[in-house]
Amino acid sequence: MASPLSPSRLWLMRAAFLGLALLIMFFHLIPLETVPRRWTAPDLLVAFAFAWGLRRPEYAPALSIAAAMLMADLLFQRPPGLMALLVVLGSEYLKNRAAGLREASFAGEWLAVCLTLLAITVLNRLVLGLLAVEQAQLSLSLIQMVMTMLAYPPVVLITQSVMGVRKLAPSDAEAIGGRA
Amino acid sequence: MAKDRSQRDDYTAPLRRLVLGIVVLCLLGIFLVWRIDSPRVERFRAQVVDRVVPSMDWAMAPVTGAINLIRDFQSYQRLAEQNQELRRELRQMKAWKEAALQLEQENARLLDLNNVRLDPRLTYITGVVLADSGSPFRQSVLLNVGARDGIRDGWAAMDGIGLVGRISGTGDNTSRVILLTDASSSIPAIVQPSRQTALITGNNTAAPLIDFLENPDLVRPGDRVITSGDGGVFPEGLLIGQVAADPSGRLRVRLAADYERLEYLRVLRHHSAETVTDPGGVVMPATEVTAPAGPALAPVTAEEEAGDG
């Protein structure tokens, strides 16, 4: 019964997470949007990091998330490190709550993710404001936050059905050799 | 969480917490270093981009082409009327071309009469747009020409018609163009024909604002906006766009360059821009007092520069 967590599958899925992050960055960088828009697309990188982290924390360890987000910071001309730091802290918070959320319905999980996204957005703007870094309009940040919240359920659906990253059922957990 | 974990994980939990702590400290450190010494980190960023983005180019070009093809498909449907329209415009253009040729000849004769010598150093390098900024909060594009091709920070980038932005951040093979629409862009300009000076500041919208106008009453929508060359940042007389007023009455620039389709950009070589290479006399007055130290200092800083790069 070692199949769900055999080392080769573990490392394969870790690599898959980084590959997914690179793919999202690739589509962001394609030079199609050279005119400023009034709205923004959801931040899929953060949504997938949370969805993977809540389902299988071992597939998206803090180091992977930090590496992916730092790369995104560097490539997308954001202040390097800040967004990565906030997303790592947010995902760790969610992972720690995952045990409680595992019994709860999806609505509870979604609410927790929304609150974390809100905290990340507020902290990001607050820190940048305190350090007098110039920022884009507040409306753009808020639109991106709301879009990411709305995009979370489809992202979870894709994560579970297409990529096969699901929560461990209690029977699996016992089979792996827990003390429960 | 621990209850459905194996016993092995109880030992790795502190290790995981340690890794998390190190990661958090590293990220915090990177952010603080960026805030304190931004140029060095930005140079590092340019090098990372220089390494990563060109390696994606083989996949990026076909995907971009395919998406643009799908977008263009709608316009194929009204090909016939578009063709008519273009023919009409072409006839008008021919008339203009004739007028321009006559004016050019006249201008050349007059320049010749006055013995005017045009600046021969104003030549350009053409680059292809590799990538955009990837985020809705910044407006910039990445070109496939860099320090290897002689590109330097601060040079102007144009499409065929108007100014697009300025170079900021050069890697070996790539360079980043901060567009006029970016919030960090501001360009000294002149509004013709009243010759009012102004600052064109981007604010993340499609039409940048016109700031610091001396007398807004003299400026009307439709007036031409060109670079003024103040401060030696840009060459003088590059077309930026036309004045337009938004519904709230603020003056903006409707940009002449076609921002919908930025594919090829010209980077103008411009050598008159002063670069700051050493601490000025205000910071180090001692070098001016001791005369022999002055010339000796210059090669040392030059070597340091070479060592850094």
Distances (CA, A) of A56 to A17, A140, A169, B34: 11, 31, 11, 33
Does some domain include residue A68? yes
The domain that contains B163 carries what CATH number?
A: 2.40.10.340
- Structural contact between residues B146 and B172, judged by C-beta atoms closer than 8 angstroms: yes
Q: How confident is the model at residue B279 (pLDDT cuts 50, 70, 90)?
A: low
Domain count within chain B: 1
Does some domain include residue A113? yes
Does some domain include residue B286? no
Does some domain include residue A23? yes
Does some domain include residue B97? no
Does some domain include residue B189? yes
Does some domain include residue A165? yes
B27 and A170 within 8 Å at the Cβ level: the answer is no
| A74 close contact with B: CB closer than 8 A | yes
Does some domain include residue B128? yes
| A171 close contact with B: CB closer than 8 A | no
Q: Which whole number is the average pLDDT over B274-284?
A: 60
In chain A, residues 115-154 whose CB comes closer than 8 Å to chain B:
131, 133-137, 140-141, 144
Does some domain include residue B78? no
Does some domain include residue A176? no
Residue range(s) defining the domain that contains residue A83: 3-29+36-169
Does some domain include residue A102? yes
User: What interface predicted TM-score (ipTM) does this complex get?
Assistant: 0.85
A120-169: pLDDT as tens digits: 999 999 999 998 888 878 888 999 999 999 999 999 999 988 888 887 76
Q: What is the pLDDT of residue B1?
A: 43
Does some domain include residue B17? no
Does some domain include residue A114? yes
A137 and B133 within 8 Å at the Cβ level: the answer is no
Spatial CA neighbour of A65 closest among A42, A39, A46, A79: A46
Domain count within chain A: 1
Distance from CA of A104 to the nearest CA of B (A): 14
Facing B204 at nearest CB: one of A28, A31, A36: A36
Position B297 pLDDT exceeds 50: no
Chain B residues touching residue A88 (CB < 8 angstroms): 20, 23-24, 27
Q: How far apart are CA B50 and CA B142, in angstroms?
A: 9
Does some domain include residue A25? yes
Q: How confident is the model at residue B4 (pLDDT cuts 50, 70, 90)?
A: very low
Residue range(s) defining the domain that contains residue B208: 40-71+123-273
